Each structure stands twice: as C-alpha cells, then as structure tokens.
Structure 1
Amino acid sequence: MGPFDWLPHAPLEPLYLDWLSEAHVEVAVLRLDRIDPLISGNKWFKLTAHLAQARQVGATGIISLGGAYSNHLHALAAAGKRFGFLTVGLLRGHRQETPTVLDLEAFGMQLHWLGYGGYRARNEPGFWLPWQAQYPHLHPVPEGGSGLLGAAGCKPLVDQAREQLGSLGWQGYDAWWLAVGTGTTLAGLVLAEAGVHRVYGALAVPDDHGVAQSVRGIVQNGYELIDASRGGFAKVDPQLLAFIDATQRSCNMPLEPLYTGKALLALKEQIKAGRFAPGTRLIFLHSGGLQGRRGFAD
C-alpha cells in the first residue's frame, strides 16, 4: 500500500505575544501545520497505525468518515493519491460542493453521502457490515482516525518536541496545550508522557460529543479537559475572529476558528486567570486543519 514509514518532522518554534510576555509564561508551538502542504496537521499521525494495520491484513485501501470540510478525509485522500492506495469517504449530510469535497474528488476519493440520520448511525453495531460487503478489500477507519490506534500514532510527537528543546534554550517544559476534537491526539500525548508532564486539552466541541468518555477509554489520568467550544462545534463569534486576526498579524502564525484559534484563545483566558505561574513553559500543539478555513471565507 505504499511507503507508510513516512514520518514527517514538525518544527518547534517560540511564540511571541504580548499577553505571554506580560504573564512571564513561555510557549513554544509544535507546528504540525508545516509538515506537508496537503497531508497536514495531526491527521497523518493518527492515520499511521491504522495504515499499518491495513497493510497487515492485506487491504488495498481505506474507507472512513467525515463531514464536508473534514480535515481527516482531506489528509486521507491526499495520502491515497500520493502513496497510491484507494480511498472511500462516507460523508455526513447531502452532497455539497465545498472546497474540501472538490479536493477529495480531485485526489481520487470515492464519496458516498449518508444523509444526517445515516451518519448518526456510524457508531451503531453493524454499521460497517454493508460497507465491508461493498468494499471487501478496504480497511475501515473510524471518524477522525480515532481510537487506540490513532492515539498510538501520535506518540512520536512528544519525542519530536523534546529533541528540539535545545534550539529554544529550554532545559525542559511543564505541560502541553492543544485543541481537542475527538481526544485522540491528546490521548497519544498522555500515553507518550507516561505521567511526566500534564496535557491540557481545549475542547472544541461541547460535552455531549462524548469526548471525555472516549479519552477515558484510552487513558485515565495525566490530562485535563477545558471547555473552549464557545457554545458548540463550529460556533464562532466576533471576539474569537478578532483574536485570530490580531494573533496572525502579531506573530504570523496561521490559525483557524474551529480548533487552533479556540485553543489559543482559551490558553490566553486561562493565563489571564492565573492558572499558570510566571516562569511556566508550555508546548502548544498546532494541529493544522488550515484547509478547513475555506468554510469561513465570508
């Protein structure tokens, strides 16, 4: 199925913002948005163990799920095109010609639109049976590449960050901070840290999405979840958009409003509230997802 030993390297860069300087808190950003123009962010890392399992069982491709702006499906389809394996996407709702969907088709992914009721059934027993019958040579991957396999694929991120601490003049760090959608990447960091450093997850989705339960299915401690959803998934407001605009102008780091923008604003609010003492050093994981900004072009 291709060279799935490809493990891109994410640079670790210092973040200079006034509100960090005022609090005497240092932040370095692990820039997963910079690993590849198309297979971007944490999505490839979440896919690696799933792809390895697919190869073990002799599958010729991957079938997975997502929405019309899915970063997961976008990275999967791009990887399929680059490395020469088949991809099928099961999409929420009814056909939309979003920029992401047009990319999926251009990358060669075959799409099936499930409607909204059909998509809600994705976690029910037997959901995959008809799709496996239709595509017996494809390996099913859960939405977002989630689960223990997805988490395991994210463990190398900790080593990548630690290997670059010297370039910042850091001897160590105190904790991680990242946006959380499914909780898979957070769980991977917790597994890799093995209790050495705490991992803070800024929830981009409300409590009723079941993220806390999913994370507990993989790890039981070493992390904390903070609500950063601002009222719901994909909910944006003038304060968030103004913060993203000001931050991008100040430090030239691109953000998007679903995950990274919400996570960084939540970090600012927590620092202003005094959660982190002066001298704290944090690693902020930039999880990519910038292609999804095209849904907010207006």
Structure 2
Amino acid sequence: MLLPPANWLPQAPLEHLHLDWLTSAGIEVAILRLDQIDPLISGNKWFKLVEHLKAADRAGAEGIISLGGAHSNHLHALAAAGKRLGFKTVGLLRGHAQETPTVQDLQAFGMQLHWLGYGGYRARNEPGFWEPWLAQYPQLYAVPEGGGGLSGALGCAAIKEQAQAQLATLGWSDYHGWWLACGTGTTLAGLVLAEAGVHPVYGALAVPEDHGVAPQVESIMQSAGLATAGYELIDASRGGFAKVDPVLLEFIEQTEQASGIPLEPLYTGKALLALKQQVEAGRFAPGTRLIFIHTGGLQGRRGFSASR
C-alpha cells in the first residue's frame, strides 16, 4: 500500500488576508494555507499526488518514479511521502548533478536520483520516453512532471471542499472566485472541475505563456469530458520562470512583514503581486470576495536564497 491511513487527511486553514491595498479597494481575500498542511508533504503537491498513489496501488506498484528539477517541490513532496509511508521513489532530474538543499533532502529521504542533462529532460514528453525507465524499474508507477494530468487535477478538486467547509468561520456565506499561481495548470484544472462553472478560477502564470499551460488545462478538461470554460490565465511570470526583480522582492518583504505569512518568489509571491496589480487596475468591484491559495513551495526558497 502506497496510501496513508484513511484518517490521515491534511487540513489547510482558511484565514482572512489583511493588507492595505485590499482594504482600500473594498476587496476581501481569504488565504487557504496549503503551506501549513504538513511540515514536509506541503502545499498543493500532496493533493496532486493522492490520485496517482491510488492508481499505483491499483496497479500493484511498489513505488513511484517521476521528474523534476533541482529545486522541485513535487519531487520533495514525493520523496517525503515515500519515506513516511514506506514506498520506493525514483527521481529523474533536469540538468546535471548539483547539490541544492532540495537535492540533499531527496537523498536523505531515500529517493534514487538520475540526472538526465537538459536534452534528455526535454525528451520527457516524447513517445517512448518512459519505456527504458519502466524496463529498469518495472515495479514502479510513472507519474508525470509536477504530478500533472487528469489524476493530479482530480486530487486537487478536494481543495475546494477544504475551503468551503471553513467559509462560516470567516463570516462568509459564499465567494466570487479563486486566485492561485499556475506552473503546470493542474491545480487550476482541479478547481475548474470542482467548480463546474459556479465560480471562476483565476490562474496567475508563474511561467511564460509559451510554456503550454493553456493546452495542458484544455487537455485535462477534455480527458474529463468537460468544456474548458470557467477560468482565466493572467501573465504573472515577470519575464520568465524563476525570473525575479527588485519590485517583486520588495513586495514579498513588505507583505511578509504586514501579514506574517511567508511567501516565495517563484509562485505565490508572483501570484499575489499580480492580484494586487489587478485590484489596483479596478478589475474587481468593491465587495468582491476571493479565495487565494497559498500553494506552498517554501522549501524551494532555501536554494533560491543561497544562489542570489
């Protein structure tokens, strides 16, 4: 069994986000703290993994093989889950061998690593990519980069339930939409599936538009047999994935001081700054209530800070 005990369900607190630029615009935002669900298996990554683990169990697999980079939140959560729940994990990494805090954790958690170089990693979406790896590890179940695909999205649909169950504690009876960072679009797709058009989902792109998030979301919707309405993608990449600038870093520092909520510059920090820009541009009417998802990823801050 790869799955945790049935009574192990990580819970994310939903709390008011008090910031001056929201108050002055008359906008209410509640932040769903996925960064607090678990010390290691943090953020949206657990939700993206859970349906993959169920599929691996059904297939009789002994563990998971997946892909990511040297700061990958997905591989970090996967390796931590493997160590905690006792299943084997193998990571196929982008680029050449390097030491980062994340890589050190992967090794400490018992994940076996293979570095693919950059050309080898680019081949991950080509037909036949998985064949030699599954021949080498026939007892493992292959999970896409970032825990993506329909299975990853279906796991993320549970995020809506966690938020809705806590609305009354905020004094809310309803809300007007979701706002979150997008890397692959899997979490956004899960929320779109769960909402089925009732509330819009706004995705702040942490990657440039040419990284294919929109086609990936559409592919998941088609796999689920649903239309692709109900969401909007907004460019928040600030020039590229992992691109940061003084404005972003200053915004993160000020927001952390004002709210006490830790952010990172690759996903959640960019998403919240993009929301501020949209609010100041008059995108949302006074009285709008939004749920902002803190997708975690704080472990990746360590290597980022060390490289600056």
**8 A Cα contact 2:2 2:56, kept in partner:** no
Question: What is the match of residue 164 of structure 2?
Answer: 162
Amino acid at match of 1:171: S
Q: Distance between the aligned counterparts of 1:197 and 1:3, measured in 2?
A: 31
Q: Distance in 2 between matches of 1:181 and 1:68?
A: 16
Identity of aligned residues (%): 75
Q: Match for residue 62 of structure 1?
A: 64
Local SS of the residue matching 2:220: coil
Counterpart for residue 85 of structure 1: 87
Partner of 1:71: 73
Provide the C-alpha distance between the structure 2 equivalents of 1:200 and 1:7, rounded to a whole number of angstroms: 26
SS in structure 2 at match of 1:263: helix
- 1:248 corresponds in structure 2 to 256
Q: What is the TM-score of this pair, normalised by structure 2?
A: 0.96
Q: Which runs of 4+ in 1 moved over 2 A?
A: 1-7
1:199 to 201, 223, 235: 201
Aligned to 2:22: 20
Q: Residues of 2 paired with 1:277 and 1:100: CA distance?
A: 41
The aligned counterpart of 1:190 is 192
Return the offset for 1:207. Answer: 1.1
Is structure 2 residue 116 aligned with structure 1 residue 108?
no
Q: Residues 181 and 270 of structure 2 are in contact (CA less than 8 Å); yes or no, is this contact kept in structure 1? A: yes
TM-aligned CA deviation for residue 295 of structure 1: 2.1
Aligned length: 298
User: In the TM superposition, what are the counterparts of 1:40-51 in structure 2 within 5 Å?
Assistant: 40-51=42-53
Matched to 2:284, the amino acid is F
Cα distance in 2, alignment partners of residues 102 and 187 from structure 1 = 31
Match of 2:140 in 1: 138
Structure 1 residue 7, shift from structure 2 partner: 2.4
Query: Any unmatched runs of 5+ in structure 2?
Result: 222-227
Shift of 1:2: 3.8
Query: How far does residue 208 in structure 1 lie from its aligned partner after superposition?
Result: 1.3
Q: Is 1:268 the equivalent of 2:276?
A: yes
Deviates more, 1:91-100 or 1:4-13: 4-13
2: distance between equivalents of 1:159 and 1:105? 34
1:86 aligned partner, one-letter code: K
Q: Quote the offset at 1:296 in angstroms.
A: 2.2
Q: Secondary structure in 2 aligned to 1:217?
A: helix
Query: Aligned partners of 1:54 and 1:218: how far apart in 2?
Result: 19
Equivalent AA in structure 2 for residue 163 of structure 1: A
**Structure-1-length-normalised TM-score:** 0.99
Instruction: Specify the alignment match of 2:302 in structure 1.
Output: 294
Q: Is the 8 A contact 2:155 2:190 kept in 1?
A: yes
CA-atom RMSD in angstroms: 0.7
